Structure 1
Amino acid sequence: MTQDSICITGVGLTCSMGHSYDEFTNNLLSQVSGIEPVAEFDVSDHPSQIASLIGKIPCPEGFDETEYYSRLRIEQCGIWCAETAMRHAGLQDRPSGLRIGLVLGLGAEWMQSWEMDYRRGGRRAFDPTEEPAGMTTKVHRFLNLRGPQLTISAACASGNWALAQGRRWLEMGWVDLCLAGACDIGVTPLSMAGFGNLRALSRKNDTPHAALRPFDSDRDGMVLGEGGAVFVLEKTAAAKARGARRYADVAGFGASSDAFHMVIPCPEPQHGIAAMQQALGDARISPSEIGYINAHATGTPVGDICEAKILQSVLGESVDQVPISSTKSLTGHLLSAAAAIEAVACLTVLDQQLIPPTINLDHPDPECAMLRHVRGKPESVNVDVTVSNSFGFGGNNTCLVLKKAA
């Protein structure tokens, strides 16, 4: 990579599997499932009664807890992830003049706010003019950042888009550092009812840890999750100059839109293929150089087969050689934050040289069996290049390539 390549130097996250990079990594490689029965609200009349929930989001050290916990949980999520990412990068005492950009992937932000308000007897859903500033603006103000800010809403692909945009800002010289990632606190009565009525959610309520089964013949849908991840991006030369640890280079990105249906995956693979080929071309790598693929694989009957076709086409002769897994089997599907948390999983692979398996993959679907699935236990590898697919509702197809920092 050149001196001007863009690298990741810090990670802040929260999800059911931990509130820090190290905690998440340990639980991921130990195969600790975050999926449990929902107890936060009544789900007795819901077809799916399980989810991957955070619980209480920690308050960053030095912040006023009363003020912090008075905020919406989605704001707490964004503040925690962004602030701890800066600290993880060794930037807790950042210079006052530093231009720090903020790009956050978010989805249904106002719907969540309106639903919580309505459940408390409020009427904000009927008068949106009462709504205060958006969440990205609130995090930007709270952390006193001095750079541009942007909200990206591209469904499950939002986190990949945020990292691509943050990389671009740095390449253009618009910022000195960029915080990029995605957050979603989307496990609510309304979301569970909506996805449940779409028959998109697993109904294996009696066995929550075994419910989400990507690529398995017995899969019956996804399991909702919540959380977020934010990354510190900076130019490699600047990171080296201050002696920062570099977790990976953001090497490639590709995107396409199939515009097939709002919620049903496109049955034809060419659009997903285009996104992956763009990303590999951007990173200047061939399919045979990929050391690991974090599949989007949500555990839905249609979606997993579609992705298997995409992977088979892109990988070609390497289809039975490139290790693939779906970490959603452990984390659940974090919706708009899915791509961000799966980018953390890719960092784990590069860092630990271990691939987390797809759990619950007992009987691979014959239509997905051509893939080189990692299952059962983590697999020790020699990996320099990882790829993460995120194919979102509405036909938002993205692919992210992360390389081991040179």
Structure 2
Amino acid sequence: MPTPDEFLVSANHLLEDLVSLRRKLHQIPEFALDLPQTQQMLLSELEGLGEITLGKSLSSIVLVIRGGSPGPTVLLRADMDALHVQEETNLDFASVNGYMHACGHDLHMSAGVGAAKLLHEIKDQLKGDVAIWFQPGEEGHHGADVMIEEGMLEITGSRPVAAYGLHVFTSLPAGTIACKPGAMMASAGDMNVVLQGSGGHASMPWLSKDPVAPMVEAISSLQTMLNKNFDQFDPVILNVSWIRAGDDSTNNVIPDTASFGATVRTFSAANTEKLHILAPKLINSIAEGFGVTAKIKFSEPTKVLINDEHSVERVSKIAQELVGSAGYVKMENPIAGGEDFASIVHEIPGAFVFLGACPEEIDHTTAPTNHSARAIFDDSVIPLGSALLASLASSHLL
């Protein structure tokens, strides 16, 4: 069985092809669960590498590489979808269709293809099977849950004994690998609020029911509510990201409605449940005090991403073989980003791993972050991602 170093040497031979694939994928970003062009491009790359199963209600691909001997299954996952962001990088291969791989999923797919090629080359040495998921809908569309519902965890005939995924970040130097046991990423969901009042002339607000004032009060009071009701060592983030009321071409009209939306991040299911009780109670009480009504809607949140301790030990060992002890970061704290890989490791043990992809000429401490229209990723790290994934999978199948 190849060592991690040997996998990396082989992966580096694929560098030109993997970078080319990444840049082609970057130019055809697609949104949510239906990604026909992306799926077709990946299928052409995966042809002949194993058994292919396509999703029924989403553009997913599962590649199964059967080992030379019977044994367990290991799952690798690469997400496929882009964001609704107008790219501003000025790269030669920048997207122009109003969407952007601003979170690096084009690198994830390319690393997954590289891992597939590495594992296919040594499949006769594997004592078990590898299932590689190419998953749409990570960005808030619960693609992992859909694939689980469609039976993709059992695609080889047995549930995987471990699952691994990686994520590139511009906030880490290129080639750095980072991981931690336990909570790695937050539960992420949305809260949308509509305050219904009764519009009228702004010079006579006592004859109307102004929804703007209670909206402002609610937004401010929510932060105090978090501070007074939640343990600061089990943090909750509620950040309002948009507000809407009235017409900016008219200043003398009180609108009928005012609305706002917030992202909600927690690190425990208990706090998610608690927030879903306390926030509506507060907003409704404020609305009642102003004589208006409120409608509060929460989206289905992702789960907290919990890394398995033993899987992280495996990641640590292999990562340090690939990048040395100086290149491996043992994270002290989780991040507040959400990730539906959480649904996979909720079902089976595994680990999610961060891979630094900030170009050398950019300071990673000030670089435009993931999701920025100006985020630039160093695609020379793709072979390292491929070697890491292939090494993790094969280490279970010796």
TM-score of the alignment, normalized to the shorter chain, above 0.5 = no
TM-score by length of 1: 0.29
TM-score, normalised to structure 2's length? 0.30
Q: Which has the higher contact order (CA 8 A, sep 6+)?
A: 2
